[in-house]
Amino acid sequence: GPKVLQIPSHQIIDMGQMVTLNCDPVSNHLYFYWYKQILGQQMEFLVNFYNGKVMEKSKLFKDQFSVERPDGSYFTLKIQPTALEDSAVYFCASSLDWGGEQYFGPGTRLTVL
């Protein structure tokens, strides 16, 4: 079936540094999502994105977070600066339609030291 890729699979950085997580969504999909899963907890919605704009965001989507998809390339989540509580697995997803099936990537494990 359709695949979403995430790069890198694991990232370790020092607190206060900037990090960019990359997502290669399904090629014809138009809606993009980020979810965050802290170890032992449920996956939680961060943000969705369509046509160059954030459509919805949760309270977890702090001011230090930003998303973009320049020129149809990777859909990225940038965290600047990072904090210890940002350590988690971040899942990217994409869908063709609003309310359509979301296809998930394998996740990027972010460790902030």
Partner 1 sequence: GDSVTQTEGQVALSEEDFLTIHCNYSASGYPTLFWYVQYPGEGPQLLFRASRDKEKGSSRGFEATYDKGTTSFHLRKASVQESDSAVYYCALSETEGADRLTFGKGTQLIIQP
Using CB under 8 A as the criterion, which residues of the chain lie in contact with partner 1 when the complex forms? 1, 4, 31, 33, 35, 40-45, 48, 55-56, 58, 91, 93, 95, 98-99, 101-107
> Shortest CA distance to 86 belongs to which of 105, 104, 113?
113
Judged by beta carbon, residue 63 or residue 97, the one nearer partner 1 is 97
Residue with Cβ nearer partner 1 (14 or 40): 40
Min dist CB 17 to partner 1, Å, is 26
Residue 70 sits at φ, ψ, to 5 deg, of -70, 125
Kindly list the distances between the CA atom of residue 23 and the CA atoms of 15, 40, 41, in Å, as whole numbers in the listed order.
22, 23, 22
Contacts of 51 (CB under 8 A, 6+ apart): 30
Q: Closest distance between partner 1 and the C-beta of residue 16, in Å?
A: 29
Burial (Cβ within 10 Å: 0-12, 13-18, ≥19) of residue 90: buried
Nearer to partner 1, 56 or 85 (CB): 56
Least Å distance, CB 45 to partner 1, is 4
- Smallest distance from the beta carbon of 106 to partner 1, in angstroms? 5
